[in-house]
């Protein structure tokens, strides 16, 4: 166990490898299983209720970290001279009782006649049908040509042009494709009613999921256009007496022979009332700096991060709390011990930036906020080391198939050297050879591994900004990151993996884009 816990300080050795002195070994020795266990017993306690984002438990975990940083003289590096960087969550939710749509004397209720994204609207307007609503001026594709759509409601067919599917959204945008939402915003349309045969048949089942939207201010661009999915009866009311019926529109779209755009009868008006309630909540990243000893090099930062949050409490079951001792209490307390080792001993030349993120489990929110609104100059961060799930490894002789993918007793998974930076791989090997001689397992250090771990933790936020920086190397090879640790999942986590894979696919597209386009 001691050896395992000592392995958590890989990042510490790496950083010392940048410094001259071999003092790092004695500092690494200050990291003990007893200290780590003491911290973890607090961070993963039932009383912290699984540290969901946002939650009181996560706030308390952050306060615990901060009280230690203060004792050791670690400098605050969050906002306004504090150790904190605030993530402001805005949750918009449809108020179904006051949300309705009327067409020609017929009234439709939320969750029965239609569903809608929670964007408030109170308007009466005529309608325009614009096919799938995607345009590409560079290719001469414009379903809006000759139509006045300002102040009107667009009716669009669900679906994407083939090229958009093939390229992914970002790359498609770069070659001129514009989504119906963007067109609606730019052209001053009021709302989009979507014809979507698959959603149409399950309006009641998707009503709850559609009715809420949660965003972090400053991170996600928020569309101001309400998107509504109509039920079959509502579509029939919309297209009653028009040149093409709703059934005909769907049939033609299925047959790849979409009906051309047209304005619906000018006498027909739709009245839309979307009532939305908004609440705001906050969570916090914790950020500190151990200042470097070299008057010049201390302006550069070696950043080390770990996400502090987990997934909270289950709705059912006897033991409802997901304690998240491994994911990622282990990385969080390892980082705390690393902070102490740096802050209370001789310092390396460069400054150490210590980051405990909130919101990783909801899509890397804390680290994304940090790289979008960095509290130190991003260009001064030379590298980012990340620890996610470093607390479990296979005991000798463990044949349990559930533990099959855990790292071995003296082994650690490392991601980064193969994918993006052989230089860092060489440093890692050098320090490892000098001290613990762990087995460094590169199994996940591949873009083609099905788990796609390279995209699935907070280091990826830095990678997307071109960190690490290697000024002497050409573009495509400048990225690197290390996620050291076993990947044992907490009970109940298996169901989330498909969602995580979804994020990865997006990440892959973004990575490819960044790889060729970013500085
Ligand atoms: Zn994690």
Mean pLDDT, 10 residues at a time, the chain of 519 residues:
40 53 79 95 98 96 98 98 96 95 96 96 97 95 96 95 88 93 97 95 92 86 91 96 93 89 95 96 97 96 96 90 95 97 93 97 92 96 90 86 87 84 84 88 86 83 78 28 29 27 24 24
Find the 457 Cα to ligand 1 centroid distance in Å.
7
Find the 278 Cα to ligand 1 centroid distance in Å.
29
- Domain-wise residue ranges, the chain: 2-90+281-517, 96-274
Q: Which 3 state secondary structure label does DSSP give 301?
A: strand
d(CA 350, CA 395): 37
Specify the DSSP class assigned to residue 269. -
Find the 307 Cα to ligand 1 centroid distance in Å.
7
Find the 322 Cα to ligand 1 centroid distance in Å.
13
- Per the DSSP assignment, residues forming a β-bridge with 85 are 285
2-90+281-517 CATH fold: Aminopeptidase (3.40.630)
CA distances from 275 to 101, 121, 193, 210 (A): 11, 7, 17, 14
Dihedral, CA atoms, 144, 147, 148, 149, nearest 10 degrees? -40
Find the 489 Cα to ligand 1 centroid distance in Å.
9
Evaluate the omega torsion of the peptide bond into residue 54 and state whether it is cis, within 30 degrees of 0: yes
Can you tell me which residue has the tokens 């997307």?
Answer: 464
Find the 9 Cα to ligand 1 centroid distance in Å.
17
The domain 96-274: what is its CATH number? Answer: 3.50.30.30
What is the per-residue pLDDT for 13?
Answer: 53
Q: What are phi and psi of 68, to 5 degrees?
A: -75, -45
Find the 30 Cα to ligand 1 centroid distance in Å.
25
Find the 364 Cα to ligand 1 centroid distance in Å.
10
Find the 338 Cα to ligand 1 centroid distance in Å.
18
Find the 157 Cα to ligand 1 centroid distance in Å.
38
d(CA 75, CA 138): 52
């Amino acid at each position: 166990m001691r050896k395992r816990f000592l392995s958590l300080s890989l990042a510490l050795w790496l950083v010392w490898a940048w410094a001259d002195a071999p003092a790092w070994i004695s500092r690494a020795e200050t990291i003990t299983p007893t200290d780590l266990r003491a911290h973890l017993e607090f961070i993963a306690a039932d009383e912290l209720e699984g540290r969901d984002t946002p939650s009181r438990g996560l706030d308390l975990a952050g306060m615990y970290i901060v009280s230690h940083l203060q004792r050791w003289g670690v400098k605050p590096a969050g906002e306004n001279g504090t150790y904190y960087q605030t993530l402001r969550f805005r949750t918009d939710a449809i108020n179904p009782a006051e949300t309705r749509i009327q067409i020609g004397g017929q009234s439709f209720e939320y969750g029965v006649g239609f569903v809608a994204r929670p964007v408030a609207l109170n308007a009466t307007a005529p309608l325009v049908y614009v096919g799938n609503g995607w345009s590409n001026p560079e290719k001469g594709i414009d379903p809006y040509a000759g139509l006045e759509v300002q102040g009107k409601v667009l009716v669009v067919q669900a679906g994407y042009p083939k090229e958009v599917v093939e390229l992914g959204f970002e790359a498609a945008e770069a070659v001129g494709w514009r989504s119906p939402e963007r067109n609606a915003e730019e052209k001053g349309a009021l709302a989009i009613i979507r014809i979507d045969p698959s959603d149409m048949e399950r309006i009641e089942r998707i009503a709850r999921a559609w009715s809420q939207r949660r965003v972090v201010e400053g991170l996600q661009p928020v569309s101001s256009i309400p998107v509504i999915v109509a039920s079959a009866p509502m579509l029939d009311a919309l297209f009653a007496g028009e040149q093409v019926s709703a059934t005909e529109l769907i049939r033609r779209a299925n047959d790849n022979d979409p009906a051309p755009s047209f304005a619906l009868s000018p006498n027909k008006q739709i009245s839309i009332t979307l009532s939305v309630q908004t609440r705001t909540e906050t969570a916090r990243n914790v950020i500190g700096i151990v200042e470097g000893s070299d008057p010049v090099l201390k302006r550069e930062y070696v950043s080390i991060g770990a996400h502090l949050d987990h997934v909270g409490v289950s709705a059912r079951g006897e033991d409802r709390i997901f304690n998240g001792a491994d994911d990622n209490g282990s990385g969080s307390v390892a980082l705390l011990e690393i902070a102490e080792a740096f802050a209370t001993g001789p310092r390396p030349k460069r400054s150490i930036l210590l980051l405990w993120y909130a919101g990783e489990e909801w899509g890397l929110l804390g680290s994304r906020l940090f790289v979008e609104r960095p509290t130190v100059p991003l260009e001064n961060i030379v590298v980012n080391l990340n620890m996610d799930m470093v607390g479990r490894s296979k005991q000798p002789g463990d044949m349990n198939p559930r533990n099959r993918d855990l790292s071995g007793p003296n082994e650690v998974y490392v991601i980064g050297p193969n994918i993006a930076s052989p230089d860092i791989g060489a440093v890692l090997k050098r320090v490892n050879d000098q001290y613990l001689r762990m087995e460094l397992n590169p199994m996940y250090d591949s873009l083609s591994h099905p788990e796609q771990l390279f995209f699935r933790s907070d280091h990826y936020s830095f990678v997307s900004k071109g960190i690490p920086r290697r000024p002497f190397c050409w573009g495509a090879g400048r990225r690197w990151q290390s996620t050291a640790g076993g990947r044992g999942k907490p009970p109940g986590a298996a169901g989330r993996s498909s969602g995580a894979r979804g994020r990865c696919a997006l990440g892959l597209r973004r990575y490819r884009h960044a790889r060729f386009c970013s500085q």
